[in-house]
Amino acid sequence: MERFKVIQLNMQFGQVWDETDPDNALIDVARTIDELRSHDADIILLQEVERGQVGGAQIEPPPNCTKLRQALKGYDCFFSYPKVDPRELPFGIGLAIFSKTPLRDTMRRDLPSPPVEFEFEGRRTTPTDRLLIGVTTTVGGRDLRILNTHLLALFMINANSQDYPMQRRRVLEILNASKGPTVLGGDFNAANHDALLQQFATAGYKTVQSERATWRREPLVLDHIFYSRQLRSVRHAVKPTTASDHHVLVVEFEYVPD
Protein backbone atom coordinates (compact mmCIF):
# COMPACT_ATOMS: atom_id res chain seq x y z
CA MET A 1 0.00 0.00 0.00
CA GLU A 2 1.40 3.37 -1.02
CA ARG A 3 2.48 5.66 1.80
CA PHE A 4 3.20 9.36 1.88
CA LYS A 5 5.20 11.48 4.31
CA VAL A 6 4.08 14.77 5.86
CA ILE A 7 6.20 17.10 7.98
CA GLN A 8 5.09 20.00 10.15
CA LEU A 9 7.35 22.87 11.25
CA ASN A 10 6.88 26.32 12.68
CA MET A 11 10.07 27.69 11.11
CA GLN A 12 10.16 30.97 13.08
CA PHE A 13 11.11 32.91 9.89
CA GLY A 14 14.45 31.06 9.79
CA GLN A 15 15.65 32.11 13.24
CA VAL A 16 17.79 29.29 14.61
CA TRP A 17 17.83 28.07 18.19
CA ASP A 18 20.46 29.59 20.50
CA GLU A 19 20.09 28.38 24.07
CA THR A 20 21.99 31.37 25.45
CA ASP A 21 20.01 34.08 23.64
CA PRO A 22 17.03 32.65 21.73
CA ASP A 23 15.32 35.99 21.07
CA ASN A 24 18.36 37.38 19.26
CA ALA A 25 19.54 34.23 17.50
CA LEU A 26 20.84 34.24 13.95
CA ILE A 27 18.37 34.14 11.07
CA ASP A 28 19.56 31.43 8.69
CA VAL A 29 16.96 30.26 6.16
CA ALA A 30 19.61 28.01 4.59
CA ARG A 31 19.53 25.89 7.74
CA THR A 32 15.75 25.68 7.44
CA ILE A 33 16.13 24.50 3.85
CA ASP A 34 18.70 21.86 4.84
CA GLU A 35 16.34 20.57 7.54
CA LEU A 36 13.40 20.35 5.15
CA ARG A 37 15.42 18.63 2.45
CA SER A 38 16.69 16.03 4.90
CA HIS A 39 13.20 14.56 5.30
CA ASP A 40 12.36 14.19 1.58
CA ALA A 41 8.70 14.62 2.53
CA ASP A 42 5.83 14.49 0.07
CA ILE A 43 4.03 17.32 1.88
CA ILE A 44 5.54 20.14 3.97
CA LEU A 45 3.47 22.35 6.27
CA LEU A 46 5.11 25.56 7.50
CA GLN A 47 4.10 28.41 9.79
CA GLU A 48 5.86 31.71 10.53
CA VAL A 49 7.49 31.65 7.11
CA GLU A 50 8.12 35.40 7.10
CA ARG A 51 8.92 37.95 9.79
CA GLY A 52 6.23 40.45 10.68
CA GLN A 53 7.10 44.07 9.94
CA VAL A 54 6.43 47.00 12.22
CA GLY A 55 3.25 48.70 11.07
CA GLY A 56 2.01 45.56 9.32
CA ALA A 57 3.86 45.97 6.01
CA GLN A 58 4.15 42.76 3.99
CA ILE A 59 7.08 42.26 1.64
CA GLU A 60 6.17 41.07 -1.85
CA PRO A 61 7.29 38.68 -3.10
CA PRO A 62 7.73 37.08 0.34
CA PRO A 63 11.53 36.73 0.67
CA ASN A 64 11.78 33.54 2.73
CA CYS A 65 9.10 31.73 0.77
CA THR A 66 10.85 32.75 -2.44
CA LYS A 67 14.09 31.16 -1.17
CA LEU A 68 12.21 28.01 -0.22
CA ARG A 69 10.54 27.79 -3.62
CA GLN A 70 13.88 28.13 -5.37
CA ALA A 71 15.56 25.53 -3.16
CA LEU A 72 12.80 22.92 -3.00
CA LYS A 73 12.84 21.84 -6.62
CA GLY A 74 10.00 19.60 -7.68
CA TYR A 75 7.52 20.99 -5.14
CA ASP A 76 4.39 22.98 -5.82
CA CYS A 77 3.65 25.69 -3.25
CA PHE A 78 0.78 27.72 -1.86
CA PHE A 79 1.62 30.61 0.47
CA SER A 80 -0.46 33.27 2.14
CA TYR A 81 0.10 36.13 4.52
CA PRO A 82 -2.57 36.97 7.08
CA LYS A 83 -4.52 40.12 6.33
CA VAL A 84 -2.55 43.35 6.72
CA ASP A 85 -2.80 44.78 10.23
CA PRO A 86 -0.93 47.80 11.63
CA ARG A 87 -0.81 46.07 15.05
CA GLU A 88 1.52 43.38 13.67
CA LEU A 89 4.43 42.52 15.98
CA PRO A 90 7.92 41.53 14.76
CA PHE A 91 7.30 37.79 15.05
CA GLY A 92 6.58 35.14 12.44
CA ILE A 93 3.65 35.36 10.01
CA GLY A 94 2.56 33.57 6.86
CA LEU A 95 1.67 29.96 6.07
CA ALA A 96 2.96 27.69 3.30
CA ILE A 97 2.10 24.26 1.94
CA PHE A 98 4.64 22.50 -0.28
CA SER A 99 3.78 19.31 -2.15
CA LYS A 100 5.49 17.02 -4.65
CA THR A 101 2.13 16.69 -6.39
CA PRO A 102 0.30 19.64 -8.00
CA LEU A 103 -1.92 21.76 -5.79
CA ARG A 104 -5.40 23.02 -6.67
CA ASP A 105 -8.56 24.36 -5.01
CA THR A 106 -6.60 26.76 -2.82
CA MET A 107 -8.36 28.65 -0.05
CA ARG A 108 -7.60 30.98 2.85
CA ARG A 109 -9.76 31.83 5.83
CA ASP A 110 -9.13 34.56 8.38
CA LEU A 111 -9.54 33.45 12.00
CA PRO A 112 -10.50 36.50 14.09
CA SER A 113 -8.68 36.96 17.39
CA PRO A 114 -10.48 38.13 20.53
CA PRO A 115 -9.89 41.71 21.74
CA VAL A 116 -7.79 40.64 24.72
CA GLU A 117 -5.44 43.42 25.81
CA PHE A 118 -1.81 42.66 26.62
CA GLU A 119 1.40 44.63 26.98
CA PHE A 120 4.26 44.51 24.48
CA GLU A 121 7.36 46.65 24.93
CA GLY A 122 5.56 49.05 27.27
CA ARG A 123 2.40 49.60 25.25
CA ARG A 124 -1.05 48.06 25.35
CA THR A 125 -2.31 46.28 22.27
CA THR A 126 -4.60 43.46 21.09
CA PRO A 127 -3.74 40.41 18.97
CA THR A 128 -3.98 40.31 15.20
CA ASP A 129 -6.21 37.79 13.42
CA ARG A 130 -4.87 34.36 12.51
CA LEU A 131 -5.13 32.31 9.32
CA LEU A 132 -5.98 28.90 7.89
CA ILE A 133 -5.07 27.86 4.36
CA GLY A 134 -6.10 24.81 2.37
CA VAL A 135 -5.35 22.99 -0.86
CA THR A 136 -6.27 19.76 -2.62
CA THR A 137 -3.83 17.40 -4.29
CA THR A 138 -3.85 13.83 -5.57
CA VAL A 139 -1.63 11.32 -3.79
CA GLY A 140 -1.65 7.61 -4.58
CA GLY A 141 -4.57 8.04 -6.95
CA ARG A 142 -6.83 9.62 -4.30
CA ASP A 143 -7.73 13.22 -3.61
CA LEU A 144 -6.29 14.58 -0.37
CA ARG A 145 -7.34 17.80 1.32
CA ILE A 146 -4.50 19.56 3.15
CA LEU A 147 -5.06 22.29 5.74
CA ASN A 148 -2.51 24.39 7.61
CA THR A 149 -3.06 26.86 10.44
CA HIS A 150 -1.41 28.85 13.24
CA LEU A 151 -3.68 29.79 16.12
CA LEU A 152 -3.34 32.53 18.69
CA ALA A 153 -1.18 31.73 21.74
CA LEU A 154 -3.70 32.79 24.36
CA PHE A 155 -1.57 31.33 27.14
CA MET A 156 1.19 33.82 26.29
CA ILE A 157 -1.09 36.81 26.90
CA ASN A 158 -2.51 35.44 30.15
CA ALA A 159 -5.82 34.34 28.61
CA ASN A 160 -7.60 30.99 28.55
CA SER A 161 -8.59 29.26 25.32
CA GLN A 162 -11.75 27.96 27.01
CA ASP A 163 -12.90 31.58 27.40
CA TYR A 164 -12.19 32.42 23.75
CA PRO A 165 -13.16 29.39 21.62
CA MET A 166 -13.96 31.11 18.32
CA GLN A 167 -10.77 30.28 16.38
CA ARG A 168 -10.98 26.57 17.15
CA ARG A 169 -14.68 26.55 16.32
CA ARG A 170 -13.98 28.04 12.91
CA VAL A 171 -11.33 25.40 12.27
CA LEU A 172 -13.81 22.71 13.31
CA GLU A 173 -16.36 24.08 10.84
CA ILE A 174 -13.81 23.68 8.05
CA LEU A 175 -12.93 20.15 9.20
CA ASN A 176 -16.58 19.16 9.28
CA ALA A 177 -17.03 20.43 5.74
CA SER A 178 -14.21 18.20 4.43
CA LYS A 179 -15.66 14.76 3.62
CA GLY A 180 -12.69 12.95 2.10
CA PRO A 181 -9.17 12.15 3.33
CA THR A 182 -7.93 15.26 5.13
CA VAL A 183 -4.76 16.32 6.94
CA LEU A 184 -4.62 19.39 9.18
CA GLY A 185 -1.23 20.54 10.43
CA GLY A 186 -0.12 23.56 12.34
CA ASP A 187 0.99 25.30 15.47
CA PHE A 188 -2.15 25.21 17.61
CA ASN A 189 -0.60 27.07 20.55
CA ALA A 190 -2.61 25.02 23.05
CA ALA A 191 -0.98 24.81 26.46
CA ASN A 192 -3.70 22.30 27.41
CA HIS A 193 -3.46 20.03 24.42
CA ASP A 194 -5.82 17.43 25.93
CA ALA A 195 -8.73 19.86 25.56
CA LEU A 196 -7.71 20.52 21.94
CA LEU A 197 -7.59 16.80 21.15
CA GLN A 198 -11.00 16.18 22.69
CA GLN A 199 -12.50 19.07 20.77
CA PHE A 200 -11.17 17.95 17.37
CA ALA A 201 -12.16 14.35 18.08
CA THR A 202 -15.77 15.52 17.85
CA ALA A 203 -15.12 16.01 14.13
CA GLY A 204 -13.51 12.57 13.85
CA TYR A 205 -9.88 13.77 13.81
CA LYS A 206 -6.93 12.27 15.67
CA THR A 207 -3.52 13.80 16.25
CA VAL A 208 -0.37 11.96 15.27
CA GLN A 209 1.20 12.35 18.71
CA SER A 210 0.69 14.19 21.99
CA GLU A 211 3.43 12.80 24.24
CA ARG A 212 6.60 14.57 23.17
CA ALA A 213 7.01 18.34 23.42
CA THR A 214 7.49 20.19 20.14
CA TRP A 215 8.62 23.57 21.53
CA ARG A 216 12.00 24.36 23.04
CA ARG A 217 11.02 27.38 25.14
CA GLU A 218 8.60 25.39 27.29
CA PRO A 219 7.87 21.63 27.34
CA LEU A 220 4.56 21.95 25.46
CA VAL A 221 3.02 20.01 22.60
CA LEU A 222 2.07 22.94 20.38
CA ASP A 223 2.47 21.35 16.95
CA HIS A 224 0.08 18.74 15.63
CA ILE A 225 -0.87 16.87 12.49
CA PHE A 226 -4.52 15.83 12.69
CA TYR A 227 -5.93 13.32 10.25
CA SER A 228 -9.36 12.03 9.22
CA ARG A 229 -10.75 8.52 9.50
CA GLN A 230 -9.80 7.70 5.88
CA LEU A 231 -6.12 7.78 6.87
CA ARG A 232 -3.89 5.69 9.10
CA SER A 233 -0.70 6.89 10.80
CA VAL A 234 1.94 4.24 10.08
CA ARG A 235 4.87 5.80 11.92
CA HIS A 236 5.76 9.17 13.35
CA ALA A 237 8.55 11.03 15.12
CA VAL A 238 9.34 14.36 16.73
CA LYS A 239 12.74 15.25 15.33
CA PRO A 240 14.78 17.78 17.31
CA THR A 241 16.24 20.56 15.21
CA THR A 242 18.16 23.76 15.86
CA ALA A 243 16.68 25.36 12.72
CA SER A 244 13.83 26.82 14.83
CA ASP A 245 12.52 27.01 18.38
CA HIS A 246 10.07 24.28 17.32
CA HIS A 247 10.93 20.69 16.44
CA VAL A 248 9.86 18.89 13.27
CA LEU A 249 6.86 16.59 13.44
CA VAL A 250 7.14 13.77 10.89
CA VAL A 251 4.50 11.21 9.94
CA GLU A 252 3.93 8.59 7.29
CA PHE A 253 0.31 7.96 6.28
CA GLU A 254 -1.50 5.34 4.27
CA TYR A 255 -5.11 5.24 3.20
CA VAL A 256 -7.58 3.06 5.07
CA PRO A 257 -9.10 0.58 2.58
CA ASP A 258 -12.70 1.38 1.63
In tens, the pLDDT along 161-201 reads 889 999 999 999 999 999 999 999 999 999 999 999 999 99
pLDDT above 70: percentage of residues in the chain: 100
In tens, the pLDDT along 196-239 reads 999 999 999 999 999 999 999 999 999 999 999 999 999 999 99
In tens, the pLDDT along 7-36 reads 999 999 999 999 999 999 999 999 999 999
pLDDT above 80 for 69: yes
Tell me the C-alpha distance between 235 and 253, whole Å: 8
Please give the torsion angle defined by the CA atoms of residues 42, 47, 51 and 56, in that order, rounded to the nearest 10 degrees.
130
Domains of the chain (ranges, CATH numbers): 3-255 (3.60.10.10)
Average pLDDT taken over every residue of the chain? 97
Helices 63-71/29-39 angle, 10° precision: 40
Residue 44's pLDDT band (cuts 50, 70, 90)? very high
pLDDT above 90 for 93: yes
State residue 258's pLDDT score: 84
pLDDT above 90: percentage of residues in the chain: 97
pLDDT above 70 for 123: yes
State residue 1's pLDDT score: 62
